[in-house]
Amino acid sequence: MVATGNITNAALLASFAANLDAIVAALDEVAFVAIGPEALVLHRPREDGPDRSS
């Protein structure tokens, strides 16, 4: 999920480039990553959620 607000395409691409390694590493550990203007927010799956292993 990307929630950067109203920024230019160049700023958006720069944010992805600056954080790409952290985003890729985080996706090995969590369900999804929210990319904000000043932080990455990591979202783990709910413990009581449906089994999505198959």
List, for residues 14-39, the tens digit of each pLDDT value.
988 998 999 899 888 888 888 887 88
| Residue 52: per-residue pLDDT | 62
Helix, strand, coil fractions of the chain, as percent rounded to 5: 35, 15, 50
Structure tokens that stand for 5 in this block: 């607000």
User: With left for phi above 0 and alpha for psi between -120 and 50, is residue 42 left, alpha or beta?
Assistant: beta
Q: What is the pTM of this model?
A: 0.66
Using the predicted structure, report yes or no on whether residue 13 has a pLDDT greater than 70. yes
Question: 17, 5 in Cβ contact below 8 A?
Answer: no
